[in-house]
């Protein structure tokens, strides 16, 4: 009886020493946005990579990876795409790996009628890593559960955002300040400054001509400073929105604006007769004083306290 | 017997100052950690006398651009003490930063959509003396002090996102000068003597002060042409002895 108890205890301690399995996903590069991989129709058939690392033992079953349009519990079923990276039960050496995701494969697995070209609205899949886990009494669960974290979403976004509204343009010195309104699910905005072309039979309609300068920013900053322009010249300005998948919107209506010269304080000072010509003064003595100040500061900070 | 009584009386007399210190009078003797320097943080309005430049002939481009109000100048100073006796003397180094923004002007004189700014970083090296003997020995919590020193002020002017360039001249540089400062500190230890002792034993901060000081500075490369970054200003702040 005592021997049985001791053996049980030994087994229990071994089991207790095993930690629950966990898979950590990571998306290399800059393709991920908030753990979401988004592709467009154009990039629907491109491969996307996710790396994984594992901790804990696979005591009850193998580890499988799959894409599901619903949830990650149970066995992969109809509509799910199993990725060919199964790790056998009891494997102690395969602790990391790489998964290749292709949206076109996931769509085909969901339904034979789905494809990159026919899908007209957003379609999302969750990346699952599942195995059967042990409960507190060391029994194996009846069904697989997801052990992957964080939740990685793989999305096809075939819909471009709507065209932005007319940008607001303000003239600066040799530059234009352009304020844009974010449209739809845009994650980035591009502003283009273009030459204006007179069109129409009466010559009264202006259209966008050759590109002069363009700039792209995330939607955190909706004010663009477009430099390198000629004061007094009338330019056209248009905005384009991009969603996470990179789908471009149509161009916004064409706004116009002219850079206008202005004087800062130094120009006003010089115009008033001021004789300052810049420079460090006394042969760059500022550097010398800066060095002295830094050295003294260091000396005083590092000096031992007087007793 | 009379000898023992005399010893008792002497001990009581000796204990009286210690008791008095506990109820408010601050004495340097009761603090354990030695003093070797100070850290000062201060801020105040700084209005450079740029419009006083002779070549401007009474024109006031600084006032016309930035108006009458001052820059907010914040400074940090670190001091080392080389004399502690009847007062404290030492050397201090300081660095500060101030900036002021205003709208650039169109040719018509109207405000432009972009901003222009004057930015300064005054650096200082000074000798100082503060009469803290009365605070430590007599419990008077006021410490007058004075400083004289050398100043170097890097400056730059921006318009929009960049340094302004006028007639090929980049609007940035530095100016040498000197300054003299007089001020009065209030020793905060008298308000919470026990807290002050804990501050010392825990962090090594011997004393803390609030102060007001007046600075007269001439920062114009000692009278040479160009920017006059001189000023006459009040500043206020917190000082810590360590």
Please give the pLDDT value at position A295: 66
How far from each other are the two terminal CA atoms of chain B, in whole angstroms?
47
Inter-chain contact B80–A296, Cβ cutoff 8 Å? Answer: yes
When CB atoms are compared, the residue of A262, A281, A301 closest to B104 is A262
Locate tokens 């023992």: which residue? B4
User: What CA–CA distance (Å, rounded) separates B217 from B106?
Assistant: 34
* Average pLDDT score, chain A: 84
User: What CA–CA distance (Å, rounded) separates A143 from A185?
Assistant: 38
When CB atoms are compared, the residue of A271, A278, A301 closest to B169 is A278
What confidence category does residue B21 fall into, taking pLDDT thresholds of 50, 70 and 90?
very low
Q: Are B61 and B52 contacting, i.e. CB atoms less than 8 angstroms apart? A: no
What confidence category does residue A85 fall into, taking pLDDT thresholds of 50, 70 and 90?
confident
Inter-chain contact B164–A264, Cβ cutoff 8 Å? Answer: yes
Mutation target to probe the A interface, by most A beta carbons within 10 A, among B48, B62, B79, B114 is B114
Inter-chain contact A263–B104, Cβ cutoff 8 Å? Answer: yes
Please give the pLDDT value at position A14: 47
Inter-chain contact A273–B106, Cβ cutoff 8 Å? Answer: no
When CB atoms are compared, the residue of A273, A285, A305 closest to B176 is A285
**Between the CA of residue B6 and those of A145, B10, B17, B170, what are the distances in Å?**
88, 6, 18, 81
**Tokens coding A41:** 């129709």
When CB atoms are compared, the residue of A262, A278, A299 closest to B172 is A278
For β-strands A153-156 and A36-39, DSSP reports them as parallel
Locate tokens 């916004």: which residue? A252
pLDDT(B72) > 90: yes
Average confidence (pLDDT) over A89-115? 90
Is CATH 1.10.150.170 what the domain over B31-241 is classified as, yes or no? no
**Between the CA of residue B110 and those of A175, A179, B105, what are the distances in Å?**
18, 22, 6
How far from each other are the two terminal CA atoms of chain A, in whole angstroms?
72
Average confidence (pLDDT) over B72-101? 95
Residues 6+ apart with CB under 8 A from A173: A231, A259, A260, A261, A262, B104, B112, B114, B159, B160
CA torsion angle B66 B70 B76 B81 (round to 10): 130
When CB atoms are compared, the residue of A271, A278, A299 closest to B173 is A278
What are the E-state strand segments in A44-147? 47-55, 63-68, 81-87, 96-102, 123-131, 145-146
**Tokens coding A84:** 């060919």
**Tokens coding A197:** 């072309």
What confidence category does residue A203 fall into, taking pLDDT thresholds of 50, 70 and 90?
low
HEC profile of A167-231? CEEEEECCEEEEECCCCCCCCEEEEEEEEEEEECCCCCEEEEEEEEEEEEEECCCCEEEEECCCC
Return the higher-pLDDT residue of A80 and A135. A80
For β-strands A22-26 and A148-149, DSSP reports them as parallel
Exposure string over B6-26, b if 16+ CB within 10 A, otherwise e:
eeeeeeeeeeeeeeebeeebb
pLDDT(A141) > 90: no
Mutation target to probe the A interface, by most A beta carbons within 10 A, among B48, B126, B171 is B171
| ipTM of predicted assembly, 2 dp | 0.82
User: What CA–CA distance (Å, rounded) separates B241 from B78?
Assistant: 10
CA torsion angle A93 A97 A103 A104 (round to 10): -70
- Tens of pLDDT, residues A214-266: 999 999 999 999 999 999 999 999 999 999 999 999 999 999 999 999 999 99
Residue A239: phi, psi to the nearest 5? Answer: -120, 150
**Element at B192 (helix H, strand E):** none
Q: Which of A130, A103, A116 is nearest to A48 (CA)?
A: A103
Question: In chain A, what residues touch B150 (CB-CB under 8 Å)?
Answer: 289
Question: In chain A, what residues touch B84 (CB-CB under 8 Å)?
Answer: 306
Classified as helix, coil or strand, A138 is coil
For β-strands B123-130 and B142-159, DSSP reports them as antiparallel
- Tens of pLDDT, residues A152-190: 999 999 999 999 999 999 999 999 999 999 888 899 999
Locate tokens 């001189």: which residue? B230
**Element at B179 (helix H, strand E):** strand B172-187
pLDDT(A90) > 60: yes
| B97 strand-pairing partners | B74
Neighbours of B170 (CB within 10 A): 16
- Is the Cβ of B63 closer than 8 Å to some Cβ of chain A? no
| Torsion sign (Cα): B17, B20, B22, B26 | negative
Q: Which of A115, A24, A130, A126 is nearest to A67 (CA)?
A: A126
Residues 6+ apart with CB under 8 A from A19: A55, A56, A57
- Is the Cβ of B119 closer than 8 Å to some Cβ of chain A? no
Task: Name the DSSP letter for residue A140.
Answer: B
Please give the pLDDT value at position B32: 62
Classified as helix, coil or strand, B12 is helix
Q: Scan residues 196-215 of B and list those with Cβ closer than 8 Å to A.
A: 204
What confidence category does residue B156 fall into, taking pLDDT thresholds of 50, 70 and 90?
very high
**Residue A159 φ/ψ region, left for φ over 0, alpha for ψ in the -120 to 50 degree band, beta for the rest:** beta
Q: Which of A282, A303, A300, A280 is nearest to B76 (CA)?
A: A300
Q: Are B119 and B158 contacting, i.e. CB atoms less than 8 angstroms apart? A: yes
Domains of chain A, start order: 2-156 (2.60.40), 168-257 (2.60.40.10)
Q: Return the number of CB contacts < 8 Å for A and B.
A: 168
- Is the Cβ of B135 closer than 8 Å to some Cβ of chain A? no
Locate tokens 């001791």: which residue? A6
pLDDT(A1) > 60: no
Among the ranges A105-119, B19-33, B116-130, which has the highest mean pLDDT value?
A: B116-130
């Amino acid at each position: 009886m005592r021997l049985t108890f001791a053996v049980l205890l030994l087994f229990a301690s071994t089991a207790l020493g095993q930690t629950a399995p966990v898979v950590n996903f990571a998306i290399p590069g800059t393709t991920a946005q908030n753990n979401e991989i988004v592709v467009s129709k154009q990039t629907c058939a491109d491969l996307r990579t996710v790396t994984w690392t594992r901790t804990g033992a696979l005591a009850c079953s193998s580890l499988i990876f799959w894409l599901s349009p619903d949830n990650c519990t149970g066995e992969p079923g109809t509509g799910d795409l199993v990725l060919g990276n199964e790790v056998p039960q009891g494997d102690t050496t395969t602790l990391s790996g790489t998964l290749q995701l292709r949206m076109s494969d996931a769509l085909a697995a969901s339904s034979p009628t789905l494809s990159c070209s026919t899908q007209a609205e957003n379609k999302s899949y969750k990346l699952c890593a599942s195995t059967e886990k042990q409960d507190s009494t060391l029994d194996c669960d009846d069904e697989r559960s997801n052990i992957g974290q964080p939740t990685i979403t793989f999305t096809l976004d075939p819909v471009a955002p709507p065209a932005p509204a007319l940008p607001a343009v303000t003239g600066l010195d040799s530059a234009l300040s352009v304020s844009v309104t974010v449209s739809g699910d845009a994650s980035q905005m591009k502003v283009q400054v273009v030459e204006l072309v007179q069109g129409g039979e009466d010559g009264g309609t202006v259209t966008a001509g050759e590109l002069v300068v363009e700039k792209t920013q995330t939607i955190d900053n909706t004010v663009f400073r477009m430099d390198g322009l000629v004061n007094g010249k009338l330019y056209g300005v248009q905005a384009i929105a991009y969603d996470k998948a990179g789908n471009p919107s149509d161009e916004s209506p064409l706004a116009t604006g002219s850079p206008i010269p202005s004087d800062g304080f130094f120009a006003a000072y010089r115009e008033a007769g001021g004789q300052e010509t810049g420079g460090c003064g006394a042969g760059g003595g500022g550097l010398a004083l800066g060095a002295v100040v830094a050295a003294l500061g260091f000396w005083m900070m590092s000096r031992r306290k007087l007793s | 017997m009379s000898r023992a009584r005399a010893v008792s009386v002497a001990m009581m007399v000796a204990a009286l100052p210690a008791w008095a210190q506990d109820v408010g009078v601050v004495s340097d003797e009761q603090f354990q950690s030695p003093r070797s320097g100070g850290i000062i943080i201060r801020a105040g309005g700084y209005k450079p006398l740029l419009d006083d430049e002779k070549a401007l002939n009474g024109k006031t481009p600084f006032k016309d651009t930035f108006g009458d109000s001052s820059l907010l100048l914040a400074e940090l100073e670190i001091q080392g003490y080389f004399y502690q006796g009847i007062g404290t003397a030492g050397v201090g180094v300081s660095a500060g930063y101030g900036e002021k923004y205003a709208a650039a002007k169109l040719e018509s004189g109207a405000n432009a959509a972009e901003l222009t700014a004057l930015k300064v970083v005054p650096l200082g090296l000074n000798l100082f003396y503060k009469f803290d003997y009365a605070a430590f020995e007599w419990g008077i919590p006021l410490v007058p002090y004075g400083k004289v020193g050398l100043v170097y002020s890097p400056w730059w002017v921006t318009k929009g996102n960049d340094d302004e360039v006028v007639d090929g001249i980049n609007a940035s540089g530095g100016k040498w000068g000197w300054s003299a400062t007089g001020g009065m500190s209030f020793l905060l230890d008298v308000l919470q003597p026990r807290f002050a002792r804990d501050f010392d034993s825990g962090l090594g901060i011997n004393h803390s002060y609030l102060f007001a000081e007046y600075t007269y500075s001439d920062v114009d490369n000692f009278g040479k042409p160009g920017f006059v970054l001189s000023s006459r200003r009040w500043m206020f702040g917190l000082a810590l002895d360590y």
